[in-house]
Amino acid sequence: MSSTTTQTTTSLADGLRLGTLLRAELVTLIDVARYNPVVDLGVFPNTPAEFFWGSTSSADSGEDGLDVSFYTGYVDFQNKGTVRRVRCVRTAP
C-alpha cells in the first residue's frame, strides 16, 4: 500500500475509513472461540479468512503497517506493499 493509497483510503465517502488496530476496532471483531474465520459470520457474512489492513503504521518504519488475520486473529506488521484486504469502519454518531 503506497502512501498515496493510504491517504486516499483512510478517509472515504460517507464517513467510512480504515479501522485502526491501536483503538482495537479490527481486533474487536475477533471472536477467540472461532477459527477460520475468527469473525461471526452471522454478523459479518462472507468475510474471508484472510489478512486485513488497519490504518496503523509502524513507529519504527513508515514502510510497515499493522494487519490482522481473520483466519487466526494474529496481528502483525507487514510491508505496505503487501496485498491485503481492507475492512472499513464508521464512527458511531
Average pLDDT over residues 28-32: 88
Domain ranges (residues) in the chain: 3-88
Average pLDDT over residues 45-49: 94
- pLDDT at 22 (0 to 100): 60
CA distance 41 to 35: 11
Least confident window among 9-13, 28-32, 48-52, 63-67? 9-13
- pLDDT at 5 (0 to 100): 42
For residue 42, which phi and psi values (nearest 5 degrees)? Answer: -70, -30
- Residue 9 grid cell: 483510503
Q: Average model confidence (pLDDT) for the chain?
A: 82
CA distance 19 to 2: 17
- Cell numbers 464508521 correspond to 90
Q: CA-CA distances (angstroms) from residue 50 to 6, 62, 70, 79?
A: 19, 23, 5, 16
Average pLDDT over residues 15-41: 85
